[in-house]
Structure 1
Amino acid sequence: MPRLFTGIEIPPEVATDLSLMRGGIYGARWIDVENYHITLRFIGDIDDSSADDVHMALEQIRRKPFEVTLETLGSFGGDKPRAIVAKAKPAAPLVELQAQQERLLRRIGIAPEPRKFTPHVTLARLRAASSMAVADYLSTRGFFFSRRFEASRFVLFSSRASTGGGPYVVEAAYPLG
């Protein structure tokens, strides 16, 4: 039973820049650079027949390539931080692509995504990191400057059930344009 999600891959040169943000916080498990991505829609563990339906639904999407801007570092989890992320600007083409996937997947019976879409690249998952340590980390990384790249496709990823996911495998690619 595959665990699936859709996403946008991060180009190697941008991933290398993001990898320079690694280190400096106790309790961080840094994500492998080759696993950096922006999740568009988590699908979850589904059977092979449903996976085929997902693939056919995603093949219907026709959109133009668009620019993605990673604009700031941040964290998720508030007082109990759970991740360090590079937040992407929620530009219309990115948000519309995610919304179209949400609609198509609901039509074929995939449960709705309960979380609000917040485009980001997870850089580290946190365990036992204090909110003060995360605030200190983010303040010392204030030199982070925007990274831009063109999204020319989105992909269907699979992952094994493991702590924090990964390694991720591209099961199918859907070109934009």
Structure 2
Amino acid sequence: MRAFVAVDLPGSMLEALTRLQMLIPVGRKVAVENLHLTLAFLDEQPETVLEDLHGELERLPTQPLSLGVSGLGCFGGDKPRLLFADVPPGDVLKDLHGQIAAAARRVGISLRRERFHPHITLSRINGRLSFQEVGRLDAFLRDQGGVILPAERCPSFSLVQSTLGPKGARYDRLATYDLV
């Protein structure tokens, strides 16, 4: 089962991000119910391993977590593959990320070794953009790229199943953990 662990976003942040998405000129926008901040991508895992991880995640000592947005960006350089809202990596977020990575390792999950760059994917860009699309994306980033959303308290984080399909991924929460 393909899965990940993600922070669930507060409703007012989802509303603000959805309004911002209406202005995005390229790519396939992520559905509002799929907006999240990934803490750990687990890839394909047996159900028994995810059950073990669930037990580990239930025991994590958590603390209140607030997230804000400090601008927009793209991954992929000259060939952008996704547009995201950048999230400042505060100490509580970095600690939660580290705890989840350690829990995954304890149950035998090997995570990708990459730098943690907290972000919320807003739009996925498949294929190469035309010259006109690059111009529209550049104009959008010039006009909206400095967007700031104040930090808000996040209610929880979740273990999520990701099922790929022709219209994109479908996400189903397997378990939710309160951020106290």
**What is the TM-score with the length of structure 1 in the denominator?**
0.90
The code of the aligned residue for 1:51 comes to: L
Amino acid across the alignment from 1:175: D
1:159 aligns with 2:158: no
Cα deviation 1:97-143 (Å, max 9, x = unaligned): 00111112112210122221111110000122365543322002146
- Name the counterpart of 2:144: 141
Comparing 125-134 and 95-104, the one that deviates more: 125-134
Whether 2:17 is the aligned partner of 1:18: answer: yes
For 1:97, the equivalent position in structure 2 comes to 96
- Structure 2 residue aligned with 1:129: 129
Q: Distance in 1 between matches of 2:90 and 2:48?
A: 33
- Paired amino acid for 1:134: L
Contact 2:40-2:111 at 8 Å conserved across structures: no
What is the CA–CA distance in structure 2 between the aligned matches of 1:10 and 1:167, rounded to whole Å?
Answer: 17
**Conserved 8 A contact 2:10-2:154:** no
Q: TM-score, normalised by structure 2?
A: 0.88
Letter in 1 for 2:153: E
Q: CA deviation at 1:153?
A: 1.6
Task: Spell out, residue by residue over 1:78-97, the C-alpha distance to the aligned partner (whole angstroms, 9 max, x if none).
Answer: 11111110011100000110
Cα 1:160–1:71, aligned 2, differ >3 Å: closer, same or farther?
same
Task: Give the structure 2 partner of residue 5 of structure 1.
Answer: 4
How far off is 1:8 after superposition? 0.8
Report the CA distance between 1:46 and its aligned residue: 1.1
Structure 1 residues 86, 174: CA separation in 2 closer, same or farther (over 3 Å shift)? same
Is the 8 Å Cα contact of residues 73 and 85 (structure 1) preserved in structure 2? Answer: yes
Cα RMSD of the aligned pairs, angstroms, is 1.8
Shift of 1:176: 2.0
1:25-83 Cα distance to aligned partner (Å, 9 max, x none): 24x11111111000000111111111111111111211111211111111111111111
For 2:72, the equivalent position in structure 1 comes to 73
Maintained 8 Å contact 2:37/2:118: yes
Q: Which residue of 2 aligns with 1:32?
A: 31
Residue 109 of structure 1 corresponds to 108
Partner of 2:55: 56
Distance 1:123 1:74 in 2: 10
Equivalent residue pairs, number: 175
